[in-house]
Structure 1
Amino acid sequence: MKLVGTQQKRLVKASSFAIAFVLFPLASLAIEVKDVPNPRQIDGTWVTDQAGILSNETETQLNQMIAQLERKNGTEIAVVTVPETAPAASPREFTTKLFNYWGIGKKGKDNGVLFLISKGDRRVEIETGYGIEAILPDAKVGNIINTQITPQYKKGDFNSGTLAGTKALVVALETPQASSVSKEPTPTAIASGKPYTTLDDQPSARSQNLQQPTEDGNVPWLLLVGGGLVLAGGTAACVKRSRVLIEPEGHSRLRGSSRLFLCANCNKPMNKVEDTIIQSTLSKPEKVAQKLGSVRFEGWKCPECSQQLTGLGFHTVAYESHSAHFRNCPTCQELTVTHARKTLKRPTHYSSGTRLISDKCHCCDYYIEWEETIPRLSTSSSSRSWSSGSGSGSFSSGAGSSGGGGFGGGSSGGGGAGGGW
């Protein structure tokens, strides 16, 4: 009886893919978040393979690993592949929207992870819920992507890369703290100093023995060691979503929204520097990036310690855009390159398509373009993806998942990292 129910669920999932292909056989690879089948609602599993890049065996192993983790501490991981993420502004934006649309992770704990692979964008994004950012800081996620996932994807081996990446996530999330960590994450260490560095740029970064601010206001912090992060004359900052501990003078590069800053010397709130002063200190590439909207600059000054400083007298913070539309210029060393894609020939079920890709710097004469083949639309991947040997009913687990009712209602603010291949 249970087996019949499982087979019916798989038939529903396969049918949902097939209907889309029948109704839109010549459509582009564009996909909306609401159109991605939710595996928890369809058959109580954790994987949706719309791009048709994963084998049945791989899906079975992924579901087994994730189900075991969810049973152990309630953490939820969704693995999703899509042909591409247009019309979303970027793969990152698509990932964040899908994460919150599905509500991955348990409500109140926000202990979810979305592992998304966009084949057409040649991009992988791993999004983390608020509640596990202390266990999976951006730097650690970036390290998993750069060491476990993209090297395999570059070889065309999506199965090995996805399995290795998921296994690394599961190992990190099997810690006891994963099921009980609070919504507000522990500060994550980042290094700063010219040239700017970011968490995503440092795949080998590691946070060690970082602590929450204590009741008396003293916030212990460490310099992040290893992977080339020890910069001569550099400074360190301990980041949490609501506030950031930074040196009174230096440079940092962050992703996401504005934060409240505390001085690392005296632990007192810092004051925002007037924009006109900041503008006078920016280089030409920085000004171009700011005009493009790829980077936004702020200055923060400690009222107590600034008098003893010998440099600018404040800390410059650069906020990077999440958009994949921008690239770093190899000459200017700033996000002054716009990345454009134009479909020259749309793919069909019978033939591949062609896409023109170009990178152009708006500060110097750097320009490059190339053509890329768009894989033909697959009609068999969706029906194949959910026909693995053992019954998917064995993957169902935990509260909130019985009967394939969906994810647990978690949310994300954009934590995690991404990478291309």
Structure 2
Amino acid sequence: MIQHLSQILNRERLVQYFSVSALALILMIQVWLFGAAAALATGAYSFPNVSPGEPTWVIDQASVLSRLTRGEISTQLEELAEATGKEVRFVTIHRLDYGETIESFASQLFEKWFPTPEAQENQVLLALDNVTNGAAIHTSEGLRSILPEETATSISQETVMVPLRNGNKYNQAFLDASDRLVAILSGQPDPGPPVIEVNIQTEGTFAKAEETDSKSATIIVVALLVVATVIPMATYFLYQAFQ
């Protein structure tokens, strides 16, 4: 009788041990999957300070622009600042903080870099998040007479977006945005948004990168949950079989 009770207690302890181990494994996977995404998020606080007149024109944190493109844009914006006193800066990021939008990010970064009305004068900031391909422009009050809100929106949502919708052409998107901003802020006629060509194509069946990543993560979680459930059960039955 005592030996039988001892065997029952040992089995219960074994099952409890593997159940706790499985739960710990599940929690570790959840932290790995969801914590990693949060660690990669970006906020205005993570960017170094930039002051008016400082020759920092392009910050490509998302690494979507070539060195040639960054150099060409920096030269254009440097010449614009020297000729007119108007400064434009481009920022790319990879993944926003939870609950953040590209518009709120651009606004916060603008306020961080140029905290006073005097510092904000003649400043323009174009920001893009390459996960959602969302873009936004934030400008100073003094520039809105020559760069009104509707024009700024057209630049971020048309000049930038058209090349991105046509194959994620980031270099072209930012070069086109730079050309248009430089023309407007130099007092030249607005060249306007790009002409959109309508091409009829059959819908592809290939999954997007974001969809693939999401499906892969789901498969991993499901597989681990199955393993975490099966192992304690199999251990229990094997233990009973050899008693």
| TM-score, length of structure 2 as denominator length | 0.58
Distance in 2 of aligned mates of 1:105 and 1:62: 26
> Does residue 102 of structure 2 align to residue 91 of structure 1?
yes
Shift of 1:161: 0.5
| Counterpart amino acid of residue 171 in structure 1 | A
Q: Deviations over 1:99-146 (max 9, x none)?
A: 010118982662111110101122011111111011111111222234
Q: Deviations over 1:40-95 (max 9, x none)?
A: 69x83211111010000010011101111111121111100000221353211111
> Does residue 174 of structure 2 align to residue 167 of structure 1?
no
Distance in 1 of aligned mates of 2:111 and 2:47: 13
| TM-score, length of structure 1 as denominator length | 0.34
Map of 2:142 onto structure 1: 131
Distance in 2 of aligned mates of 1:54 and 1:80: 11
Which SS does the other structure have where 2:214 is aligned?
strand
> Does residue 63 of structure 2 align to residue 52 of structure 1?
yes
Map of 2:89 onto structure 1: 78
- Aligned 8 A contact 1:136 1:172 in 2: yes
- Aligned 8 A contact 1:152 1:161 in 2: yes
Ranked by relative contact order (alpha carbons within 8 Å, sequence separation 6 or more), the top structure is 1
Map of 2:123 onto structure 1: 112
| Counterpart amino acid of residue 138 in structure 2 | E
Q: 1:132 to 1:59 in 2, by over 3 A?
A: same
Which SS does the other structure have where 1:99 is aligned?
helix
- Corresponding residue to 2:214 among 337, 340, 354: 354
- Aligned 8 A contact 1:84 1:118 in 2: yes
Q: Deviations over 1:366-399 (max 9, x none)?
A: xxxxxxxxxxxxxxxxxxxxxxxxxxxxxxxxxx
Q: 1:106 to 1:71 in 2, by over 3 A?
A: farther
- Aligned 8 A contact 2:135 2:157 in 1: no
Please list, as runs of the form range in 1=range in 2, the aligned pairs for 1:248-263 lying within 5 A after superposition: none
Distance in 2 of aligned mates of 1:124 and 1:26: 21
- Corresponding residue to 1:142 among 141, 153, 156: 153
Shift of 1:148: 1.9
Which SS does the other structure have where 1:125 is aligned?
strand
Which SS does the other structure have where 2:125 is aligned?
strand
Distance in 2 of aligned mates of 1:105 and 1:116: 20
- Corresponding residue to 2:168 among 137, 156, 159: 156
| Counterpart amino acid of residue 122 in structure 2 | N
- Kindly indicate which of the two structures has a greater share of residues assigned to helix: 2
Distance in 1 of aligned mates of 2:84 and 2:90: 18
- Aligned 8 A contact 1:39 1:46 in 2: no
- Aligned 8 A contact 2:38 2:98 in 1: no
Distance in 2 of aligned mates of 1:143 and 1:39: 26
Map of 1:214 onto structure 2: none
Q: 1:85 to 1:25 in 2, by over 3 A?
A: closer
Q: 1:76 to 1:106 in 2, by over 3 A?
A: farther
Distance in 1 of aligned mates of 2:163 and 2:105: 23
Distance in 2 of aligned mates of 1:26 and 1:128: 30
| Counterpart amino acid of residue 72 in structure 2 | Q
Distance in 2 of aligned mates of 1:89 and 1:129: 21
Which SS does the other structure have where 1:354 is aligned?
helix
- Kindly indicate which of the two structures has a greater share of residues assigned to strand: 1
Q: Which runs of 4+ in 1 moved over 6 A?
A: none
Q: 1:93 to 1:27 in 2, by over 3 A?
A: closer
- Aligned 8 A contact 1:116 1:126 in 2: yes
| Counterpart amino acid of residue 54 in structure 1 | L
Q: 1:130 to 1:161 in 2, by over 3 A?
A: same
- Aligned 8 A contact 2:40 2:95 in 1: yes
Which SS does the other structure have where 1:107 is aligned?
helix
> Does residue 75 of structure 2 align to residue 64 of structure 1?
yes
- Aligned 8 A contact 1:53 1:159 in 2: yes
Distance in 2 of aligned mates of 1:135 and 1:30: 34
Distance in 1 of aligned mates of 2:82 and 2:49: 19
Structure with greater Cα Rg: 2
Q: Deviations over 1:5-40 (max 9, x none)?
A: xxxxxxxxxxxxxxxxxxx98863212212123466
After superposition, the CA RMSD in angstroms is 3.2
| Counterpart amino acid of residue 172 in structure 2 | S
Between stretches 103-112 and 44-53, larger displacement belongs to 103-112
